[in-house]
Amino acid sequence: MRFLVADDHELIRQGVKALLRGLDPDAQFDEADSWETLAAAARPDANHDLAIVDLHMSGMEGAVSLQTLLKANPALPLVVLSAEESADEMRAVLAAGALGFVPKREPASVMLKAIELVLLGGAYVPIEALSLLGPAHAPAPPAERSGAAVIESSPVGIQPHHRHLMENLSPRQQEIMRLVYRGWTNKMIARELGVAEGTVKVHLSVMFRALCVHNRSAAIALIGGWLETGRTL
């Protein structure tokens, strides 16, 4: 995977990179420490899987800068990492197209969950800010509230966070999960999709952790329950 890490403090950039290497030991990184270097690095042909951006670097104009960035590269998944936590700022960031907002006060485990959700095509905001997303999104039951995913009501047999994640798998992730459900091995999936076996392993690791399953059997059971509700994959 390839990530863009933008923060004006090198210590924070190094910490975020170390966290991302936990997802993919072979991850590649581009870095930025200002609006100018961020705008140059976030070009579409860089093919970043995710950008993690500090909202208050030199030259940044808050959510306005994010709008400019995402207008030039609308396919870029972006998570904001910020020391500011005002409701207005969170609302503006989400309206600009960011898929996540993580306060810098949060522990590394929360940031990791946010990253996993966004890599799956979901969205993340602090649990106390879910109301900013509108009345259609309600908090999960207490047992599910370890993070702050965008959550909706659940179909029979599928937990709320599972429904959200399954509905927001990217096309590539849908392909992989479909082949997992058919019993294909990582090597077979890699050959079918024309990617490295390690890439398949990284995708599966992220999906399994975000779906709170520990192996292929549990994932297959979850997919089976999803399909039984009349959904497709």
Instruction: Specify the DSSP class assigned to residue 30.
Output: E
**pLDDT score at 233:** 58
On whether residue 155 sits in a domain, the answer given is: no
User: pLDDT per residue over 99-154, tens digit each?
Assistant: 888 888 888 888 888 888 777 666 777 665 554 444 433 333 333 333 443 323 23
On whether residue 130 sits in a domain, the answer given is: yes
Residues 6+ apart with CB under 8 A from 35: 57, 58, 59, 60, 61, 65
Residues comprising the chain, all counted: 233
CATH number at residue 164: 1.10.10.10
The answer to which of 27-31, 131-135, 196-200 has the lowest mean pLDDT is 131-135
Whether the per-residue pLDDT at 68 is higher than 60: the answer is: yes
On whether residue 213 sits in a domain, the answer given is: yes
Q: Are residue 39 and residue 90 in the same domain, yes or no?
A: yes
Contact (CB, 8 A) for 65 and 35: yes
Q: Are residue 76 and residue 169 in the same domain, yes or no?
A: no
On whether residue 149 sits in a domain, the answer given is: no
On whether residue 154 sits in a domain, the answer given is: no
Confidence of residue 39 (pLDDT cuts 50, 70, 90): very high
Q: Are residue 140 and residue 62 in the same domain, yes or no?
A: yes
CATH number at residue 25: 3.40.50.2300
Q: Are residue 68 and residue 178 in the same domain, yes or no?
A: no
Question: How far is the C-alpha of 92 from the C-alpha of 88, rounded, in Å?
Answer: 6
Q: Are residue 139 and residue 95 in the same domain, yes or no?
A: yes
SS3 state at 52: strand
Supply the range of the domain harboring residue 82.
2-144
**pLDDT score at 42:** 92
Higher local confidence (pLDDT), 124 or 5? 5
Q: Are residue 99 and residue 209 in the same domain, yes or no?
A: no
Contact (CB, 8 A) for 125 and 114: no
On whether residue 233 sits in a domain, the answer given is: no
Q: Are residue 192 and residue 99 in the same domain, yes or no?
A: no
Q: Are residue 57 and residue 171 in the same domain, yes or no?
A: no
Domain count, the chain: 2
207: tokens are 């999906």
Q: Are residue 93 and residue 171 in the same domain, yes or no?
A: no
On whether residue 150 sits in a domain, the answer given is: no
* Cα Rg of the chain, angstroms: 18
Cα–Cα distances (Å) from 107 to 10, 16, 203, in that order, read 18, 12, 23
Whether the per-residue pLDDT at 207 is higher than 80: the answer is: no
Average pLDDT over residues 86-102: 80
Q: Are residue 170 and residue 127 in the same domain, yes or no?
A: no
Q: Are residue 118 and residue 185 in the same domain, yes or no?
A: no
Boundary residue ending a domain (82, 110, 144): 144
Nearest CA-CA partner of 208 in 220, 198, 217, 219: 219
Whether the per-residue pLDDT at 46 is higher than 80: the answer is: yes
Confidence of residue 70 (pLDDT cuts 50, 70, 90): confident
Average pLDDT over residues 77-102: 82
